[in-house]
Chain A
């Protein structure tokens, strides 16, 4: 069975990095040079696409979207037919934490869809405060999502999220 997973989250949260890292195929990359200072050189303006085969039964299509809201046309392409969503949040980044609510509303994330929040950039400083803020927000929004810390540059850490989604799917059925 082929399932579609979206990676959403603010600019620099690590969407392109995780798709590149997880994909078994040479991923589709649509990054261009950023003309504003966004803390990195390149930014996604189209879609990241990668593909992983988990086992005989399941393969996942990995779709990373642009973080910038002006590209929400691309969010609309990716939004339909989703099996699961991974929301990436950059540790200690107020904007990234604030974006959470907008994304949950835009992608119509409700209890029952496999979805996790993954805090990135937590290798240098503690993510405790970020996790606390996220959990508070989720409570207010009224969705119950697990929150983890991951490093999108590391395969093992990223794969953990994929297996978590499958476990969530199984318990929710």
Chain B
């Protein structure tokens, strides 16, 4: 069964209630897939570049300061979070990020995002 990123977004949106965006980028900031909710004004390529820089810095901090493997970065804002996890897609290092709605449940976001990251490591998504 292959699914599309659009379907994954819909599913995530249903489970987590009103997420704003879901984005997959290569580690060097090339957008692979991006889905966002209607009315959410956003530039996928900007999010990809920013998540790639932030994740690289988080990874460097984890490895070079705490001497530990990187898992995720979370930016908390007054209206929701941006959650970033490392994954691989088609054998490339990638970053999966989610922008939540206004009242996020961090535990759930973390759980579903880590699951999706695992799934993507061996998946081939269809275009539609």
Seen from chain A, the residues whose Cβ lies within 8 Å of a Cβ on chain B are 26, 28-36, 43, 45-47, 66, 68, 70-71, 73-74
Contact = CB atoms under 8 A, between A and B. Distances in A.
Nearest to B61: A28
Contact of B53 (A26, A28, A29, A71): A71
B56 A30 contact: yes
Contacts, number: 55
A135 to B, nearest CB: 33
Nearest to B27: A32
Query: Which of A35, A43, A66 lies at the interface centre, i.e. has the most chain B CB atoms within 10 A of its CB?
Result: A35
Nearest to B25: A35
Nearest to A47: B57
A107 to B, nearest CB: 18
A8 to B, nearest CB: 15
Mostly helix, strand, loop or mixed at chain B's interface? helix
Contacts of A30: 53, 56-57, 59-60
A73 B49 contact: yes
A46 B57 contact: yes
B28 interface: yes
Which 9 residue pairs spanning A and B have beta carbons closest together? Answer: A46-B56, A30-B56, A32-B27, A46-B57, A70-B49, A35-B26, A45-B56, A45-B52, A46-B53
B53 A43 contact: no
Contact of B60 (A28, A43, A73): A28
A33 B56 contact: no
Given A46-B56, A71-B49, A71-B53, A33 B64 contact: no
Given A32-B93, A33-B92, A46-B60, A74 B53 contact: yes
Interface in B1-58: 26-30, 45, 49-50, 52-54, 56-57
B64 A28 contact: yes
Given A46-B60, A70-B45, A32 B28 contact: yes
Contacts of A35: 26-28, 30, 92
12 contacts: A30-B53, A30-B59, A30-B60, A32-B27, A33-B27, A35-B30, A45-B53, A46-B56, A46-B57, A66-B53, A71-B49, A71-B52
